[in-house]
Amino acid sequence: MTRLPLTLTAVGVVIAANLLTATTAEADDDPVVPPGTEASAAAPVEVDANDPDLKLPEGATLAAAKVLDIKQVVEDQAGEERREDTNADVKFALQAEVLFPKDSAKLTGEAKARIAAIAEEIGKQNATRIRVFGFTDNLGSSAHGDVLSRKRANAVQGVLEAELDDSTITYEVRGYGEQYPISSNATETGRKKNRRVEVSFPRS
């Protein structure tokens, strides 16, 4: 009759010891480095400078040095505004929903503030050539999309021109309709990205 209490007491001692060990553990002051990054005393691999595979064939020359074009893309969390930076250009893409009511080319009050922010960036870059392109999704007729996208591009260009007030700036304004989608038109999420106006200009 006394074996069961003794067994439970022994188990209790083991659990208490484990808990005491867990609560008294301390962080390692010198953590192990990630695998593959440990210092090595081994000598680097030897390279044979006379290896024929490391030499250009007779008569061959190296191509001219070239700076690769690096693109940086930043998109806000809702996907309403997208900015692309390359070595040569800056491009802003604004979704139509934040600029216009549905199937309209009349700008909202919020839209004008967003366009004014783009105009400010254009001023910083001292750009004198600005491209404003409108795009739609593939719903409705292609002809309607062409006209609507051009009207929307014209509306954005009008605000930019008023904000910048610079007669030396030239604008290229086009409406491409459903051409050049950046996402699939099979879903509303994709179509929403395709309904956009892009403003691009050279970097200074």
Instruction: Tell me the pairing of strands 196-202 and 170-175.
Output: unpaired
Strand, coil or helix: 22: helix
For residue 29, which phi and psi values (nearest 5 degrees)?
Answer: -70, -20
**What pLDDT sits at residue 52?**
75
pLDDT (tens, 9 = 90+) of the chain, 204 residues, equals 444 444 444 444 444 444 444 444 454 555 555 555 566 666 667 877 777 777 777 888 888 877 667 888 887 767 789 899 998 999 999 999 999 999 999 999 889 999 999 999 999 999 999 999 999 999 999 999 999 999 999 999 999 999 999 999 999 999 999 999 999 999 999 999 999 999 999 987
Are residues 141 and 103 in contact, defined by beta-carbon separation less than 8 angstroms? no
In angstroms, the CA 71 to CA 90 distance is 10
**What pLDDT sits at residue 180?**
95
Strand, coil or helix: 20: helix
In angstroms, the CA 51 to CA 12 distance is 71
Q: What does pTM read for this prediction?
A: 0.66
In angstroms, the CA 83 to CA 200 distance is 10
